[in-house]
Structure 1
Amino acid sequence: MLYFEDALWIRENFWKDAIGTLYFALGFSGIAFHLIIISILPEISNFISHPAVLILSSQFTASLIQLFVVFVPVPAMIAVNQPYFVNPVMINVPAFLLILSQCFAFVLVIIIGFYRSLRIVSSKAGKLIFPDKVIYVIIIGVFCFSFFFTVNICAHTTIRRFNPSELNWKLQYFEVISFIYLVAFIIVPTTLFSLIALSFLIYKKLFQKPHTSEDGEDEDETDAPRETICSLFFYIIFDLFFCFWICMSFLSSVPFLSLSHVFLTAYWPLMTSLTLDVHIRAALFYRIRNVFQPQSANSPIVIRPNKKETVKFSKF
C-alpha cells in the first residue's frame, strides 16, 4: 500500500517526466522536419516564387533556433531542478534566443501575408516590389527590429525563465503585454491584406468576363479561382486562430499551454506550408519515403504534373 507522500512523489515525477519528454520529442522531431523542408525548398523552386522561398527559409531558420534552445535545455533543467542550463551565467541565454527568434518569425508573418496578397492581386506588382535585394533588406530589418524588441524587454524587466518546480515559463507582465501588442501588430495588417485580396478574388470571380484563348475556346478557370479563394480563406482562419491561441498561452500558467507559445510559434510555418501547399507536402512525403530506400535517398525530387490538368502553382 502506497503512503500519501509516495503517491505525491509519483504524481510530481510523472508530470516532470511527461513535460520533459514532450519538450525533447517535439523539439527533436521539429528540428528533423524543418531541416528536411529547408533541404527540399531549392528543389521545388520552380513551383514556389523565389521571394517566398527566401521568406520561408528565414521562418524555418527561426523555428530551428526556437527548437534548439528548448529541446535539450528544458529537459535538463527539469532533471536537475535548476532554472538554468549548464551554468548560472547562461540563465538568460535560452530565453533571449527564444524571444528573438519568436519575434523574428512573428514579423515575417506580416511580410509573407502582404506578399501573398499582393501577388494574388497583381503578379507583376509582386515581382516589382519584392525583388531579391528587397527581401534581403527586409529580413535584415526584421532581425534588427526583433533584436531591439528583445533587448527592450531585457532592459525593462526580468526576461522569462523556465521554472522547473511549476514546469512552465515564468513571464513578467511587461513581456506578456509586449507580446500581445506584437501579436495585434501582426494580425491587423495581415488580416487586412488578406481580406483585400479575398475581396478582389471574389469580385474577379463574379464580375470579370472569362478570358478566351487564341483558338476561341473559353479557358476552364472554374477550379483555379475557387481553390485560391479557399486557400486564402483558410490562411485568414489559421492566422486568426494562431494569434488567439498565442495570446491565450501567454496569459495562462498551465504547463501544456506554456508548451503552446514555444512550439506553436516554431511549428506554425511548417504546419501552414504543409497544409496549404501541395508541392511542399508532396516533396516532404517523397523525401521521407526515400529515407527508407537507401538506393534513392539522395535522388532529386521530381514533381510530375498531370497531363490532363494545368499545372497549379503554389499560392505562396
Structure 2
Amino acid sequence: MAMNNKQRLFGGVVLLGGGVLLAAILLKGQHQDDTRPPLTQPVEQRVEQNLNGEASATGEQFDLQPLAVDVETERRLLEEQRKAREKAVAEQEQLAAQYLAMQQQAEADAARKAAEEHAALLASRQAQMQSSDNIPPELVESEQSKLAAAQKTADEKAKIAEQKAKEVEKLKQDAEAKRKANEVEKAKKAEADKRQAEADAKAKKEADEKAKKEAEAKRKADAEEKAKQEAEEKRKAEADAKAKKEAEAKRKAEDEKKAKEAEKARQLLEEGDKNWMVQVALAANQANADAVTAKLQAKGYKVTQSKTTKGVRIMVGPSKSREAADTTRKKIAADSSLNMKSAWVIDWVPLDQR
C-alpha cells in the first residue's frame, strides 16, 4: 500500500513538472511573438520607426532597426522573419508534444507499475489467506470479494495504462508525421520559392530587355524624326531662299518694266504723237513740187506734200524722234546730187490730227 502511494506521488510530481515546463515554453513563445514586430506592419511605419528609434523601458536607450535599402529588401527581410517565426513555433509545438508524450508515458508507466505491484500484493494476501486455517470462512469470503474487486480495479488500471501507452505512441507517431509533413512542406515551399525566384528573375530580365529594346527603338525613332525635321527645315529654307530669289528677280523685272513704262510715259508726255519731218523745199507750184518729189523718191525717201498759202511744202518722213529726223536731214544735205543743203527739221502734224 505504501508503494502504491509513492507511485501516485511520483506521477503527480511528473504531471506538475510537465505542466510548469509546458506553461513556461508557451509563455516564452508568446513573449517572443509580442516583442517581434508584426509582419502586417506597413513598410513606411517600419522605416519611420527605424529613423526615429523606439524608446526602451528606461527611456534612455533606443533600439534602431536596420533600415532597408528599398522596398524589395524590406519585403525579403519580413519574409525571412516570418519563416523564422514559423520555424520557432513549429519547434515549440514539437517540443511541447514531446513533453506531453513524456508526461503521458510517465503516467502510463506509473499506472502500469502500480497495477503490477497491487496485483502482486493481492496475490500475496490471497496466498496467505489460503495457507491460514485460523481465519473464519465468512472473513475469507469477504476478503476474497475484496481481493476480486481489487484485482478488477488493477485490471482496469492496467487497461488504462495500456490505453495511455497507445495514446502516447499515437502522439509520437502524429508528431513524427507532422514533422515529416512540415519538412515536406518546407521542401515544397523552398522549391516553389526557387521556381518563383527563377521566374521573377526571368521576368525581370525579359522586362529589362524589352525596356532596352523600347528605349533603343525610341532613340532611333527620335533620331529619324529629328533627321526628318532637319531635312524638312532644310528643304523649307531652300524653298524660302528660292522663293525669295524669284521674288527678288520678279521685283527687279517689275521695277525694270515700271522704269521702261515710266520712260515711255515720259517720252509720250514730252513728245506725244509728234511726227518729225525734214522739209527740203517750198515749191511755187505743183509741177515743181512733183519734180522734187520724184527726185527724192528715186533716192528711196518717203516724201509728203503739204499745200500752204505760200506754195507746196515738200517733206521727207515722218520720223518718230527728232534725232532720227536730223540724221535724215544731214544725209540729204550731204547728197550733192539733190542740192538740198537748206533742209531743216520741223514738227509737223497732219491736218486730220490738228
| Superposed pair shares fold, TM > 0.5 | no
Give the TM-score taking structure 2 as reference length: 0.23
Give the TM-score taking structure 1 as reference length: 0.25
The structure where strand makes up a greater share of residues is 2
